[in-house]
Chain A
Amino acid sequence: MSSFEIFWERFSTPGTLKSVLTGLQNTAAIAVFGLILGFLIGCIIATVKIIPSQNIFVTILKRLADAYIAVFRGTPMMVQLLLLHFAVFIGVNIPPVAEVSLIFGLNSGAYMAEIMRSGINSVDKGQMEAARSLGLSYFTAMIRVVLPQAVKNAVPTIGNEFISLLKETSIVSVIGLADITRAFKAIADSTFEYFIPYIALALIYFVLVMIISLIIKLIERRLKKSEKR
């Protein structure tokens, strides 16, 4: 039997197919929920970081935001995963996928904060001023006027963040979570054939990344059009 036949025989058993599908589902779920959570955290942290106020409470918040960004950007994702899973969330009873999504969201939030901050800075100052001059509060102006434009400007960068987030989820197998990488590793380990399963795995990630890139492009085009109507 050729290497491919060995792989295929193993792959096409119902049990393996099911584990591959579950793995794909878990990988996608972690990436998507991580992105959403990271995006929300990023928006909040970025907004906090640019509040123009000398208020002591705000200053403390800003310091905390700085610390959060420094810690999560300054340490490897793998280390964060191991530490948070085995030492911090240890007694906490939530589904593993939710827990890992949370960890990835926390990590992504630190990067998203910087992305959103530069997105916000790319919005003309006059937009905030016009909103404030009408009597809208800083936060209303931020949410209704500045952030939508910031997000729009940041869409390509957010897309890149999503892509790297997706690829980085492949490390979750170290804590025993059944993602797509783990499913293919199981095939490789049980057949002692490594080349074909891992090439297939690489192909799956590659296709996923291509799909995301395509979606980002469509969103960008759509956003451009909406302004020209």
Chain B
Amino acid sequence: MKNGNAAKIKPQKIKGQKFIKTQVTPVEPCDPNAMIEVQHLTKSYGDLKVLSDINEKIFQGEKIAIIGPSGGGKSTFLRCLNVLEDPTDGYVFFEGNNLCNLKVNINVQRRRMGMVFQQFNLFNNLTVLKNITLAPVRIGLQDLRAAQRKNFFIRFKNLFKSTNKKMPLLPVQKTAKEIKSEARENAITLLQRIGLADKCNVYPSTLSGGQRQRIAIVRALAMNPKVMLFDEPTSALDPEMVGEVLQLIKQLADDGMTMVIVTHEMGFAREVATRVLFMADGKIAEQGSPQQIFQNPQSDRLKDFLSKVL
């Protein structure tokens, strides 16, 4: 290399893998025990570096609370975990699948990662029930049709094969009707669990913030996710509604759900989290158990932050 100038690194070429141009860091093997693994995660908006070189692993059953000053990159980090935001560089693995690999079907991976937003984001054009059943029904029907299509070709090929060489058909367990009624029953069960079964047929605009957020949570649960990502789930709520939402999240935690929660509710983080990450300036500046973080903070940044919020 001349004069020490860094040579322009070429995007890597590996069979079965394809990345966006800016992703130049070599992929390292991921930890098979980690549910989510983040490698060298970097995110820039133009010249603004929001996340710089974050490495982290999240294991099954963990309840991770992310705290930190506003603008520190908490939301961006969370949104990179299910690649709602494309990382500029670095990789996110979910159950061993590299979500940044463009050859990986991101829609299939996201089914198992629930996400809850600060602004609820219930679908305004659909009733509460339809909000919950939309994804299970659509995805169920897509899978059904895909299986039927494949079976059609298998049958066609089997016409030309001798009896003992015929290929087996893919199993098609449910009819379209069953998929729909099952999704509906499941949604009603979930609504009963949060005491809102009577709101089945109303539109989201008629509900309170607390009701909307609880419905947003069960909407994510309807896909049977392995992990739930919460981005400040109570920040847009009136104070009297914060409790009902936190209570539901706590129930999920007690049921063993793996979760990552960005929150400003320090009491909640202390109570529910198994690990707390303190994010500032695009980095995980400090992390540890709730006791360590809240009772024995090490860095000045964290001490300063805690003195302001506690």
Contact = CB atoms under 8 A, between A and B. Distances in A.
* Chain A contact residues: helix, strand, loop or mixed: helix
A1 to B, nearest CB: 60
B173 interface: no
B163 interface: no
Interface string B102-131: 000001111111110101011111100000
B82 A133 contact: yes
A227 B205 contact: yes
Nearest to B83: A132
Interface stretch (B55-63, B133-141, B164-172): B133-141
A228 B134 CA distance: 20
Contacts of A54: 20
Interface centre among A124, A130, A132, A148 (most CB of B within 10 A): A130
Contacts of B205: 227-228
Contacts of A140: 138, 142
Contact of A127 (B110, B115, B124): B124
B219 A134 contact: yes
B254 to A, nearest CB: 24
A130 B120 CA distance: 9
A91 interface: no
A226 interface: yes
B220 interface: yes
Contacts of B109: 135
Contacts of B139: 135-136
Interface string A120-144: 0000101101111111110010001
B202 A134 contact: no
A145 interface: yes
Interface centre among A127, A132, A134, A149 (most CB of B within 10 A): A134
Interface string B165-192: 0000000000000000000000000000
B67 interface: no
B202 A229 contact: yes
A152 interface: yes
Nearest to B206: A228
Interface residues of B toward A: which range?
20 to 34
A148 B121 contact: no
A51 B140 CA distance: 25
Contacts of A124: 119, 121
B123 A130 contact: yes
Interface residues of A toward B: which range?
20 to 34
Given A126-B119, A226-B203, A133 B125 contact: no
A174 to B, nearest CB: 42
Contact of B138 (A130, A132, A144, A226): A144
Contact of B113 (A133, A145, A152): A133
Contact of B123 (A133, A135, A137, A145): A145
B23 to A, nearest CB: 13
A134 B139 CA distance: 10
Nearest to B134: A144
Contacts of B125: 145, 148-149, 152
Contacts of A130: 115, 117, 121-123, 216
Contact of B107 (A126, A135, A152, A228): A135
Contacts of B123: 127, 130-131, 144-145
Interface centre among A130, A133, A145, A148 (most CB of B within 10 A): A133
Contacts of A127: 121, 123-124
Interface in B30-78: none
Nearest to A144: B134
B259 interface: no
Contact of A129 (B20, B117, B124): B117
Interface of A: 54, 124, 126-127, 129-137, 140, 144-145, 148-149, 152, 226-229
Interface of B: 20, 82, 84, 107-115, 117, 119, 121-126, 134-135, 138-139, 142, 201-203, 205-206, 216, 219-220, 223
Given A132-B107, A136-B134, 15 more contacts: A124-B121, A126-B119, A127-B121, A127-B124, A129-B121, A133-B82, A133-B84, A133-B113, A134-B110, A134-B111, A135-B107, A135-B108, A135-B112, A135-B223, A227-B203
15 contacts: A129-B84, A130-B122, A131-B134, A133-B82, A134-B110, A134-B111, A134-B135, A134-B223, A135-B109, A136-B134, A137-B107, A144-B134, A152-B125, A226-B203, A228-B206
